[in-house]
Structure 1
Amino acid sequence: MHSKLLIKLIIFSILLHSCSTKESETKEAPISSQHEVVYSEDGMVLIPAGEFYMGTDEMESYPVERPAVKRQIKSFWMDETEVTNTQFSQFVEETGYVTLAEKIPDWEEMKKQLPPGTPKPSDEDMQPGSLVFSPPSHEVPLQDISLWWKWVLGASWKHPEGPGSNIEGKENHPVVHIAYEDAEAYAKWAGKRLPTETEWEYAAKAGIDHQRYAWGDTFKPRGKFMANTFQGKFPHENLSEDGFEGTAPVKSFAPNGYGLYDMIGNVWEMTSDWFDAIKFQRLSGNAPALDSSISLCYNPSNPYALEKVIKGGSFLCADDYCINYRPSARQGQDYESGTSNIGFRCVRDF
């Protein structure tokens, strides 16, 4: 395998903890009860204070989500939608900001997240780029993500599939190929910040604790698609039954009870928390606290990585591969990297 791709596949935590669990639709539950939505002048909605159960006790989930723990939340404002290409373009135009995907990779920083002794790639390989979903033409083993993720030189938020592609016609789609520091820079410019994992999950659940999805217990209530996910045989056969093959324009699906769009599916969303694979075990008193003097995060599957929590799943979540299109689902993503299925939204203190 190409040396650059090998290194990037080690660094980037994409679609970890996948499984072949099939979804059942045995229950018919009501869509999330609606709350009175309060809007700010800049397209944010007020998330009311309250308490909820973070994580899940469902066995049809991943270990990193269990057990459920009670948490309290203060009121805060949250972006109604994921940050779009239009919004990010305005930020770049006003500031001249250059994203990490548009810069030559810093080997001194990169090697901190690789096993000791990993050789430096050639200068030819150390060029600006990002990971792009590239579906194979036929069925492939689901254990090797390099069969559908490709490191593409020149891929960035402006060129989401690589050189020759652009965002024309996708102005209202979520911006992608954004690393954590890029999202932070945008948030600071906008007078906002990235949400904590607790804030994000609380907002996604919108007052309906102990239900599987952000809208109830059934994936397609009354036969209606509620989020942009993957239908078909992952990764080679995308049936696009929900109307979208890749990302969708924001607000393409119904909002949740707090008036937030696309909290599930479309693109994974960044949070400000470092990833800890046993976070809920620690919170419930079943594991010792994380020693931050040793490591900022904990992921035994990727011990050298520095990862931030991402939430909500994306247009690549398929019921024959992963079940991350749920509010409690979570995984780690290298904080210095973006991909074609990760975006973000911002919050502001109330």
Structure 2
Amino acid sequence: MALAGAGLWLWLDDSRVLLWTLTGLAGCIALFALLAGWLLFSSGVDSEHAQGLEEYNRLQEHEWQRWAQQSVQVSGWHTIFSPQVLTPEQASDPVNSDIPLTLPPFPGYGWLAEEVIMALLPELKAVIHRWPLEVLLPEDAGDAQWRQFVASWQQCGLLSTRLTAPAASVSTYDITLHHWLDEPVNDRARLVIVKHWTGTGEHTEGVVALLVIPQAGEDDIPVRCSLHRPLSVAPGDESAAFLQFLHYQRLTTRMSGLWTDHKSAQLADRLVIAHSQRLKNDAPCQPERDQADAPASLPNRYCLPHWLGHAGPCADWFAVTLMMAMAEYSDGVQCGFFSSDSPSASWILNSVSAGAFVND
């Protein structure tokens, strides 16, 4: 435009051409300046919006991870099993065959109540000093069994006024834990007794008693283990469930043990592969640390029938108890993938960590 204007001015020798040329140049410069400013402004707004959206998505993902890693705090537990049921201290012993590991004839609820209360007496005294206690007896217990429990409670020197009315028995492990996490109770503790002791010899027999405390009590009441939110897996959705489980339960980066049964053992290979791949992908993003602190790429594998024998009813509760014992005995997080008794799922994916879990 400048060259054309200068040419016209020299040809026509008219000063107005020069004025028009300068005016046109000023207008073009102003127009380009406005356009450049608008583009810079739009780019800044888009960039800020993208950063805000990315931050929002990151916060949403953190909230989902916090939800997935929520846990139930266990202050103490007690088990009654056949001596053939292995413990972490016996991990090097020969494994059991897949046969029922039974107990002597059931001695009655009076004996069971006294056994559980005496085994957990120090923990129970500390807990009832702060909260009343809700007792969940096994599903075959009735009013007579509840009266036997209260009598044993009083014989151990504990006040019956610290007991709430007996609650219904627990369901399967995954359904029960989801219920506890979705409808948390902070005004009382729970003593949960799960029993399969029939004397038929068809499946492994045993009793598990868990003392569960509210989240608010973890500062002054010792927590032995944390039971994290389980994931129920439908048939055919195993691969997607593995990725979801590993992504949202970030504590599984410290997976040191994986518990399976006969049915889930082959499928669990995919979980181990996904876990190993996740660690490789995370490695470049992690700061350098001591080799001793680095998580193992392959967790130890534990086959539940080798520890529990041929288990049937209450096998999920029995398995979680073994996982808790192993979590206390060894470092890292214990994960389980085994058959579910729930009507809506074929498998349970769950994790257990030692101590009180800090969800940061």
Question: TM-score scaled by structure 2?
Answer: 0.27
More helix by share: 2
Answer with 1 or 2: which has the greater Rg: 2
